């Protein structure tokens, strides 16, 4: 398999370093919303005059506040925060920075995408339309089908990429009276907090936000198919074969229908170059994007053919991938759990089809990927599977 270099560079939010405009001159106009966000632990506590409400808010700060504002992101933030991928999604984001976990979750949740040059520009100020896009996405608003609206306090324009998002904010009464906001304006912290809190109120998200707590599996525990964990020391396993395919490795996959067991899965140290993506295939198969259990797309890729001189053990590991049957099970061991997936789709796509590398909103899925047909790179064979069970190991 010859995967092209994987660079996550879809363009969406474009703004530069621009002067900040204070739309609502009186910071005390934000008092109610600021207090609610402070009470729920979304933003720092403190006197309102010390919160720099008249200053601008950058991308990193805005993303952090958005993700902390809703309970549904708590689990993902906890998981990512305790196991950061070694390689950043963007060339200007340091994985050791305070905001790196928020960037990871924000990208996987489709709140951000970045620039075509592979950068996020986390320190850039957030404009009105950028904030509208991120906030409405975080609440799952249907901006594409929103009826057009404009208002004296939020000027909108038809036919723009941000039109639907601004229309939703207007319909949700998310703009403070007297704001006089418009696209291209750098949003202040006060206006941003006000919009976000009004959207929380519109969606019934007021109230304390659960802390992101990392839970350690008990010696015998089970979570799967939305069921509650059973009480006592009895482990319930719906797929009797699952424990048979549990691995002692940190990350491994078993595909019984192909006779593959305990195959090492490795995330490349350099996922942005062809050499980096291919280098780890001498030891098994590679991994890209989200990890099992994170609710997003997990890609595992491998060779279906190789050069005549390449006699490594895994050079043709996915050569018979087309023999996987719909409905069969795949078993992935990751971080002390066995994730069971069931195959739902198989298809052949052109090599230039990049849609498989884009995030989607369909929830978690496992995607197997290889060049096709064997000894050719003209197409790609893909197998998609969905999670059906997760078993915590001792």
Instruction: Say if residue 297's pLDDT is above 50.
Output: yes
178: nearest Cα among 27, 302, 20, 329: 27
- For residue 28 the two structure tokens come to 């005390």
Domain 221-392, CATH class in plain words = mainly beta
Query: To which residue do tokens 């996550």 refer?
Result: 8
Instruction: Say if residue 383's pLDDT is above 50.
Output: yes
C-alpha dihedral sign at 70, 84, 82, 121: negative
Instruction: Say if residue 175's pLDDT is above 90.
Output: yes
Residue 255: partners with Cβ closer than 8 Å, 6 or more residues away: 263, 324, 330, 331, 368
Query: CB–CB of 43/57 below 8 Å?
Result: no
Instruction: Say if residue 229's pLDDT is above 70.
Output: no
Q: So what's the pLDDT on residue 240?
A: 64
Query: CB–CB of 354/10 below 8 Å?
Result: no
Q: So what's the pLDDT on residue 36?
A: 94
Query: CB–CB of 77/148 below 8 Å?
Result: no
Q: So what's the pLDDT on residue 353?
A: 84
Distance of CA 198 to the CA centre of its chain: 25
Query: What span, in angstroms and rounded, lies between the C-alpha atoms of 14 and 115?
Result: 7
pLDDT tens figures, 82-117: 888 888 888 889 888 899 999 999 998 989 988 888
Query: What span, in angstroms and rounded, lies between the C-alpha atoms of 198 and 213?
Result: 27
Measured torsion, CA atoms of residues 378, 302, 335, 103, in degrees rounded to the nearest 10: -30
Which residue intervals of the chain bear CATH 2.40.260.10? 221-392
How many CA atoms lie within 13 Å of 142's alpha carbon, on the beta-carbon side?
Answer: 3
């Amino acid at each position: 398999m010859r995967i092209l270099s994987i660079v996550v560079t879809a363009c969406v939010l474009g703004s530069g370093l621009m002067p900040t405009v204070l739309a609502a001159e009186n910071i005390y106009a934000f008092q109610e919303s600021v207090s609610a966000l402070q009470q729920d632990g979304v933003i720092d506590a403190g006197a309102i005059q010390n919160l720099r409400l008249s200053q601008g808010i950058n991308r990193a700060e805005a993303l952090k506040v958005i993700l902390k504002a809703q309970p549904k992101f708590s689990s993902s933030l906890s998981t990512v925060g305790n196991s950061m991928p070694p390689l950043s999604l963007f060339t200007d984001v340091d994985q050791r920075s305070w905001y790196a976990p928020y960037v990871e979750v924000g990208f996987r949740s489709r709140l951000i995408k970045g620039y075509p040059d592979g950068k996020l520009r986390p320190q850039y100020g957030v404009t009105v339309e950028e904030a509208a896009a991120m906030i409405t996405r975080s609440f799952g608003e249907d901006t594409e089908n929103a009826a057009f609206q404009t208002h004296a306090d939020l000027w909108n324009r038809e036919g723009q990429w941000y039109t639907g998002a601004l229309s939703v904010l207007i319909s949700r009464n998310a703009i403070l009276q007297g704001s006089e906001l418009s696209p291209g304006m750098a949003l202040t912290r006060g206006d941003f907090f006000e919009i976000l809190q009004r959207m929380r109120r519109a969606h019934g998200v007021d109230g304390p936000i659960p802390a992101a707590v990392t839970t350690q599996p008990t010696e015998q525990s089970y979570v799967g198919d939305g069921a509650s964990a059973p009480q006592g020391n009895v482990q319930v396993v719906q797929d009797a074969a699952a424990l048979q395919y549990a691995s002692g490795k940190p990350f491994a996959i078993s595909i019984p229908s192909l006779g593959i067991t305990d195959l090492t899965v490795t995330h490349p140290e350099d996922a942005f170059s062809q050499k980096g993506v291919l280098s780890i295939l001498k030891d098994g198969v590679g991994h890209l994007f989200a990890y099992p259990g994170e609710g997003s797309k997990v890609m595992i890729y491998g060779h279906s053919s190789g050069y005549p001189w390449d006699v490594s053990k895994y050079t043709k590991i996915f050569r018979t991938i087309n023999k996987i049957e719909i409905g069969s099970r795949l078993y992935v061991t990751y971080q002390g759990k066995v994730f069971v997936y069931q195959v739902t789709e198989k298809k052949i796509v052109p090599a230039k089809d990049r849609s498989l590398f884009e995030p989607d909103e369909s929830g978690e899925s496992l995607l197997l990927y290889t060049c096709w047909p064997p000894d050719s790179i003209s197409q790609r064979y893909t197998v998609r599977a969905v999670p059906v069970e997760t078993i915590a190991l001792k």
